[in-house]
Amino acid sequence: MLTVEEFNKIQEVENKKNIGIDFDGVIHKCSKGYHDGTVYDDPIDGSLESLKTIKEMGFNIIIYSCKSRSDRPSVNGKNGTEMIWDWLEKHNVKHLVSDVVSEKPRAICFIDDKGYRFQNWIDTIKFVEKIK
């Protein structure tokens, strides 16, 4: 069993080495949204080259996707995580990715098409009012 100090040290290292990247809309075009639950589309322009660059910088790439949630139905006998790994292999980038998960991992930053860069609550509330 780890002590709190040991756990915190591991977490600190992971937070500095990991970059979390959303799959749909960031790597995979996902032009039809959920569609039929499959991973059906092409890569977003520049995404595969960027994965290689990020890996060469020394980061662990952890892809997160709601497709990987355990409550999502299987499609053609595969769950979302398996479909994502298959897509990564098809596009010859599987070796660049450390993991595929359903939730945001511990990471130094997240690359996400639906993210909002928090600076302060006043600007955040203004932003939320605009999208309402």
Q: What is the pLDDT of residues 100-119, one digit of tens each?
A: 999 999 999 999 999 999 99
Per-residue model confidence (pLDDT) at position 55: 98
- Domain 4-131: CATH architecture, name and number where available: 3-Layer(aba) Sandwich (3.40)
Neighbours of 112 (CB within 10 A): 15
CA distances from 81 to 34, 48, 125 (A): 15, 18, 34
User: Which one, of 104, 34, 43, 44, lies nearest residue 75 by Cα?
Assistant: 34
Per-residue model confidence (pLDDT) at position 44: 98
> What is the pLDDT confidence band of residue 16, given thresholds at 50, 70 and 90?
confident
14, pLDDT greater than 90: no
15, pLDDT greater than 90: no
132, pLDDT greater than 90: no
Mean pLDDT of the chain: 95
Say what percent of the chain tops pLDDT 70: 100
Tokens of 35: 């569609």
Edge to edge, the sheet with strand 97-101 lists: 97-101, 60-64, 18-22, 109-111
pLDDT, tens only, 69-99? 999 999 999 999 999 999 999 999 999 999 9
pTM, two decimals, is: 0.89
